[in-house]
Structure 1
Amino acid sequence: MIVVTGATGRLGRLVVDGLLESVPADHVVAAVRNPGKAADLAARGVKIKEADYERPETLKGVFAPGDTVLFISGDAVGRRLGQHRAVVDAARAAEVARIVYTSVLHADTTPLALAADHRGTEEHIRASGIPFTFLRNGFYTEVYAASVLQGVEHGVIFGAAGEGRVAGAARADFAAAAVAVLTREEDGDKIYELSGDTAWSLPELAAEVSAATGRPVVYQDLPHADYRQALIDAGLPEPAATMYADIDLDIVRGALSPTPGELSALIGRPTTPLRESVAAILREA
């Protein structure tokens, strides 16, 4: 069986959709926090199992010997390491064949603060002895959806990243990479550093929004402290505002700019260009 945790999330659903193009539905397990939200997947023949990272007792019985598990990382930054360890421990106890974990680009060396949980999870997976594949994902272009819509509404995209570059790719690109790995034999432990083919800056993002809408949209660079405060004023909790502002500093340092080409090689096509991602964000708004 192929087990996808977090299968009703935005990445998980794309992965399940991709799997169902080549894998019988009864060979796919959607492990989800709320089974009621997976009714549509059940209707397609996918097996549904409850798996709440916050409640380790729900993880028993989710995995079985020989399973391949796509372990999609949780979103509780700063407290998810304990959750992740519980998932890995349950997979080890079940004697799964492989665990495929969605990590972060260059998890072992990146200065990104959000990478600490990923580093700890990778270490726990290594220590478990389970054969593994680490999908070290860069930024989804969709992370900037709110910025795109802000640009449309106000004509300005704010940040503190200067001319720093982001090798973003569409979430669908990263999902396709997961499907590729899950549906083929992997020999030994593998690590993939995944990012878009082309790195772009926030001024270039603003220019693409302007081109797509026919409205003037510019990027305004702010000092780190001012940007952090602007995020707080916009309603973000202080820890989240600090994290996002710090990410812009890491972008300036080049933490998200590498373009090794491993993502496009894995999915067998170029990654989605920024212009197409902006157009998709605007269509879905």
Structure 2
Amino acid sequence: MKPPGDHVAREDVTERSAGDYLRFVPQVVSESLEGYDVVHANYGLTAPAALAQVRLPVVLSLWGTDLMGEYGWLSKQCARYCDAVIVMSEEMARELGEPCHVIPHGIDMDRFAPRPKSEARPEVGWDPDARHVLFPYPPSQEVKNHPRARRVVERASEEVEADVELQVVYGVPHAEVATYMNAADALLLTSEREGSPNSVKEALSCNLPVVSTDVGDVADRLDGVSPACVSDDDDELVAGLVDVLDDPRPSDGRDAVRDISLGRMAERIECIYESVV
């Protein structure tokens, strides 16, 4: 056994400021004159640009940090002027405090499907004999709490009779994410807040066990799934991770996410478009 370290797979990720979104206002206003029927703002900071045009109805999708983070006040103000608002979880609906539709973001179950680790690990260059814990976020995003993930993995590694590696993967092409998930033994999420994290749903679709803090709709998604662990207590997160790493095995999570496929999400959003036009 060796102490776990971070093994990073990434491409450059550029953080956007509020000003980066506002500079698109003239373009959105201009484009709105080109025969569209509705403007759909995906993410709270795009809402001011969508509302800057006054001809077309506006649908706003909120994702999590845009409602519950630094600019949550702006998302809430904009939501009042939108014709329909979509949130990812019941927790977000309560936080918004306005009429809204709860539609978790859908996942591509064809892309995120189980594959043997023996196939996936050579493709990402991971040690075939080690235990691999996937952390799919940039360490720079404080809300994801990378330091806590490291602590949990370090403690779990002390109880597992194998090398344990924390794999920090972000900024890679989305088409490759499923390969990393199928190469891993567990997905670890230590976020302080979330809406309906896609990484958890994608992991479930790959039958990858999930160990997570109790944020957003994660507890609902993992209800009845095994193996899985949801807790805000470090000791319980460590125990949940040890359970998976000590006896690596797939979860039965794929059945739990069949109701949130991309097709089902599209059908529900289309109904909202029809209601506001």
Q: What is the TM-score normalised by the length of structure 1?
A: 0.32
Tell me: higher relative CO, structure 1 or 2? Use CA pairs within 8 A at least 6 residues apart: 2
Q: What is the TM-score normalised by the length of structure 2?
A: 0.33
